[in-house]
């Protein structure tokens, strides 16, 4: 069953290749959606796909950037089907 996951990562998560790594990992997991830098220095991710794949995506991001992440907020929801691929938003 497809789900929607919104994650907000805080810490020193901008300027470390975060968005590009997230895009690559999301595409490997066949997730669609986007990642963007927020004005407050956090990074927001909205992804849709299989629940297990999205959980794995969030876990891989945390592992990859464990030295930079100081906090995270996760929100699960129902997939909207609005995305065709995974990209970086400005």
H-assigned helices in 1-90: 18-28, 51-64
pLDDT of residue 51: 97
Look up residue 5 and give its two tokens.
Answer: 């996951």
Q: What is the rounded average pLDDT for all residues in the chain? A: 97
Query: Which residue in this structure is represented by tokens 């590009």?
Result: 20
* Catalytic residue flag (residue 19): yes
Please tell me which residue in 6, 12, 19, 89 is annotated as part of the active site. 19
The domains of the chain are located at 2-79
Asked if pLDDT for residue 1 goes beyond 90, the answer is no
Q: What is the mean pLDDT of residues 27-51?
A: 98
90 pLDDT band (50/70/90 cuts)? confident
Query: Any idea which fold 2-79 has?
Result: Alpha-Beta Plaits (3.30.70)
Cα distance between residue 67 and residue 33, in whole Å? 25
The tens digit of pLDDT for each residue in 50-60 reads: 999 999 999 99
Cα distance between residue 62 and residue 36, in whole Å? 16
Please tell me which residue in 4, 27, 37, 89 is annotated as part of the active site. 37
């Amino acid at each position: 069953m497809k789900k929607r996951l919104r994650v907000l990562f805080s810490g020193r998560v901008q300027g470390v290749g975060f968005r590009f790594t997230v895009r690559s990992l999301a595409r490997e997991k066949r997730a669609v959606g986007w990642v963007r830098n927020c004005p407050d220095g956090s990074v927001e991710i909205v992804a849709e796909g299989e629940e297990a794949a999205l959980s794995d995506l969030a876990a891989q991001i945390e592992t990859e950037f464990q030295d930079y992440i100081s906090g995270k907020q996760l929100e699960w929801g129902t997939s909207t089907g609005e995305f065709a691929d995974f990209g970086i938003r400005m």
